[in-house]
Chains A and B, each alone.
Chain A
Amino acid sequence: MRIYSLVVPLLLALGASHADAGIIWSETGASCIPDSATVSGGIYDTIAGYVRIKSSSAGTLNLYCPVFVTTSPTSLGLDYYSAGSTSSNQVSAAYYKMSKSTGSLTLIAAQNSTNCGTGYHASCSTTFTDTVDNTNYVYFVAVTLVNSSSAFAESFYAAQLSN
Chain B
Amino acid sequence: MRTLLVVLVVLASGYKVAQASNVAWQMDAASCTPESGAIHNHTYSTSNGAVNQTGVQSVWFRCPVPATLGTVTYLEIVFKDSTGGTGGSTNHIEACLWEVSRATGNEVGVLQFDSSGVSSSGIKDYIEPQNPYGLDPINYTYYMSIELYRNNTSNTETVYSVGLRQ
State the A residues within 8 Å of B (CB).
32-33, 35-37, 39-40, 64-68, 96, 98, 100-103, 105, 134-135, 138-140, 142
The residues in B between 7 and 62 inclusive whose CB is less than 8 angstroms from any CB of A are 21, 23, 25-28, 30-34, 39, 42, 44-50
A40-B42, A102-B123, A105-B48 given as contacts; is B31 within 8 A of A66 (CB)?
Answer: yes
Task: Give the bracket for the number of chain B residues in contact with chain A.
Answer: 20 to 34
> Which chain A positions have C-beta within 8 A of B163?
138
Q: Which 7 A-B pairs rank lowest in CB-CB distance, beginning with the nearest?
A: A66-B31, A66-B27, A134-B23, A35-B46, A138-B161, A100-B125, A64-B30
The answer to whether B113 has its CB under 8 Å from any CB of chain A is no
Q: Decide if the interface of chain B is mainly helix, strand, loop or mixed.
A: strand
The residues in B between 70 and 93 inclusive whose CB is less than 8 angstroms from any CB of A are 78, 80
A39-B39, A40-B42 given as contacts; is B160 within 8 A of A98 (CB)?
Answer: yes
* A12–B113 alpha-carbon span in the complex (Å): 50
Cross-interface CB contact of B26 among A32, A138, A142, cutoff 8 Å: A138
* Of B31, B44, B63, most A-chain CB atoms within 10 Å: B31
Cross-interface CB contact of B27 among A96, A105, A138, cutoff 8 Å: A138
* Closest-CB distance, B154 to chain A (whole angstroms): 20
* A39–B163 alpha-carbon span in the complex (Å): 25
> Which chain A positions have C-beta within 8 A of B28?
64, 66, 98, 138-140
> Which chain B positions have C-beta within 8 A of A37?
45-46
Determine whether the beta carbon of A105 is less than 8 Å from that of B49.
Answer: yes
Determine whether the beta carbon of B44 is less than 8 Å from that of A36.
Answer: yes
* Closest-CB distance, A98 to chain B (whole angstroms): 5
Determine whether the beta carbon of A36 is less than 8 Å from that of B49.
Answer: no
Could you give 10 example pairs across A and B, Cβ below 8 Å?
A: A33-B32, A37-B45, A64-B30, A66-B63, A68-B25, A68-B27, A98-B161, A100-B78, A138-B28, A140-B49
> Which chain B positions have C-beta within 8 A of A96?
49
Cross-interface CB contact of A64 among B42, B49, B78, cutoff 8 Å: B49
> Which chain A positions have C-beta within 8 A of B161?
98, 100, 138
A135-B23, A138-B160, A138-B161 given as contacts; is B125 within 8 A of A101 (CB)?
Answer: yes
Chain B minimum-CB-distance residue to A138:
B161
* A101–B27 alpha-carbon span in the complex (Å): 15
Determine whether the beta carbon of B26 is less than 8 Å from that of A33.
Answer: no
A36-B46, A100-B125, A135-B21 given as contacts; is B31 within 8 A of A64 (CB)?
Answer: yes
* Of B21, B28, B30, B47, most A-chain CB atoms within 10 Å: B28
> Which chain B positions have C-beta within 8 A of A135?
21, 23
> Which chain B positions have C-beta within 8 A of A140?
27-28, 30-31, 49
Contact mask for chain B residues 134-164; partner A; CB cutoff 8 A; 1 contact, 0 none: 0000000000000000000000000011010
